[in-house]
Copies of this chain bind each other. A is one copy, B any other.
């Protein structure tokens, strides 16, 4: 006789077209959290999830915040073990729009020559597609068995892409309602298209924005050039000095709390089937940047970094304007590891700017969020169960890996709710998240749903 799980897995495969329709509905909602122009779309996206969770039998509501709403849904019909699933319904901006091959918010299935299929659209991978793998797994369990294997709380945030400030107080004030035995997050990559992975280390981040002001108006570069402070020049000098010749970040104290990796872990990572040339070659590059003398995997997973994610000042249109601008600004993202404290790094960055600032210039700053790096105990039972369930689905051992990205909520859940988090995601390196032409493999979606169905089953035992 087929087990409940077998019937659930069959149901998932049979319902895949309807699941895609539901995913497309939510992909059409332009929930760009970083741009206030899309606030209504963010609210609409939260409302969509509330209705969808209710349709499965969850008690769900959208909690208002000073920013975008936070969706919480509970299904506690099953006593015993409980999980908290976190995802986010907001997406990155779509600029530069001209580099998209299609409307980012008109999702469709692309069939390639080799027969593989991809879901195309902003958020298809990050994070709407990934979120729906979990929701669809719940839907299938309820449809087949009338219940869920474990008690489940779903928490969907709308400000993940903005380093939003509203989730931490919400977690604190709703700690009792949200707390469960273990956290689950689906916002990460597989090792490759055939090999699942659980991230057990994540970098933290400290995002900051600096604006340099000099003259009180734009100046003619002929009449003032060589005499007036040029904020573009001040800014590039400050930013260029953030790393030294070897690629090390120069901020005083930056590497405090950043140990060298244990030799054993280094050796483990060296055994991973990772090809630096192929990793860089896939995006048109060939030379590891960053710190000299370290491997790419080490740099991305376990070393902190400083990246200028945006810079702008003066005339950027076609042609030329002989102007010394009054203002220039840049956005800088530090990725953090081990015990680096984001606010200490922010303070060091700002002090560095002030130190290099000419006396008649001013610097102002905008804080764009920060989080500490996190590491989870890979020998805890939840990790072993999830790892085994993934191996069942994909027919391959799941890797425990590091990761260069930051999922600030992971640290928050650990800190505010005292829970470990299993980070299992089905995105691929080439999904172009945060870039034009984002996609999610149809197989990531289908087998992601099946993976969660198995993990929930494993957790119930």
Residues of A within 8 A of B (CB): 33-36, 92-93, 95, 161-163, 189, 203, 205, 207, 209, 214-230, 232-233, 235-237, 239-241, 243, 247, 279-280, 283-291, 296, 299-300, 303-305, 307-325, 328-331, 333, 335, 358-360, 368-369, 403-406, 429, 432-436
Q: What is the distance, in angstroms, from A287's C-beta to the closest C-beta of chain B?
A: 5
| Shortest beta-carbon distance from A151 to chain B in Å | 32
Distance to closest chain B CB from A75 (angstroms): 32
Q: Flag if B217 contacts A283 (CB, 8 Å).
A: yes
A329 nearest CB across to chain B (Å)? 8
Inter-chain contacts of A247 with B (CB < 8 A): 226
* B283 engages A319 (CB within 8 Å): no
- Taking a contact as CB atoms under 8 Å apart, the answer to whether B319 and A433 are in contact is no
A321 touches B219 (CB 8 A): no
Query: In the assembled complex, how far is the CB of residue A269 from the closest CB belonging to chain B, in whole angstroms?
Result: 14
Q: Which residue of B lies closest to A367 (CB)?
A: B320
By a CB distance below 8 angstroms, the chain B residues around A36 are 318
Q: Which among A222, A287, A368 has the greatest number of chain B C-beta atoms within 10 A?
A: A222
Integer count of this chain's copies in the complex: 2
Of listed A289, A313, A329, residue having the most chain B CB within 10 A = A289
Give the Cβ gap from A364 to chain B, nearest Cβ, in Å. Answer: 15
Question: Within the complex, what minimum Cβ distance (angstroms) separates A115 from chain B?
Answer: 24
Asked, given contacts A215-B284, A228-B280, A310-B232, whether A34 binds B320 with beta carbons under 8 Å apart, the answer is yes
Contact of A225 with B312 at beta-carbon distance under 8 Å, contacts A237-B240, A368-B319, A434-B322 already known: no
A233 & B307 in contact (Cβ 8 Å cutoff): yes
Told that A93-B321, A230-B308 touch, could you supply 12 new A-B pairs with CB distance under 8 A?
A95-B315, A221-B333, A233-B243, A235-B311, A237-B240, A287-B359, A311-B312, A311-B316, A312-B313, A320-B368, A320-B369, A322-B333
Collect the chain B residues with CB atoms within 8 Å of residue A161's CB.
Answer: 319, 321-322
Chain B residues lying within 8 Å of A217, measured Cβ to Cβ, are 283-284, 432, 435-436
B311 close to A236 (CB less than 8 A): yes
Closest to A359 in B: B287
Chain B residues lying within 8 Å of A304, measured Cβ to Cβ, are 226
Q: Which of B286, B300, B310, B313 contacts A359 (CB 8 A)?
A: B286
For the complex, give the distance between the alpha carbons of A189 and B284 in Å: 51
A208 to chain B, nearest CB (A): 9
Contact of A226 among B218, B284, B305 (CB under 8 A): B305
Separation of A280 and B230 alpha carbons in the complex (Å): 13
Are B312 and A230 neighbours in the complex by a CB distance under 8 Å?
no
Which of the residues B216, B230, B359, B369 comes within 8 Å of A284, measured between beta carbons?
A: B216
Contact in complex: B236, A222 (CB < 8 Å): no
**The residue from B222, B232, B325 contacting A404, defined by CB atoms under 8 A apart:** B222
A435 to chain B, nearest CB (A): 4
For the complex, what is the distance from the CA of A195 to the CA of B279, rounded to whole Å?
Answer: 66
Residues of chain B lying within 8 A (CB to CB) of residue A406? 222, 322
* 8 nearest CB pairs, A to B: A222-B405, A34-B319, A216-B284, A226-B305, A240-B240, A226-B290, A310-B314, A232-B308
* Pairs A–B under 8 Å by Cβ, sample size 16: A161-B321, A207-B322, A215-B283, A218-B436, A220-B433, A224-B300, A225-B335, A232-B311, A233-B243, A240-B241, A286-B359, A309-B324, A310-B315, A312-B316, A319-B368, A321-B434
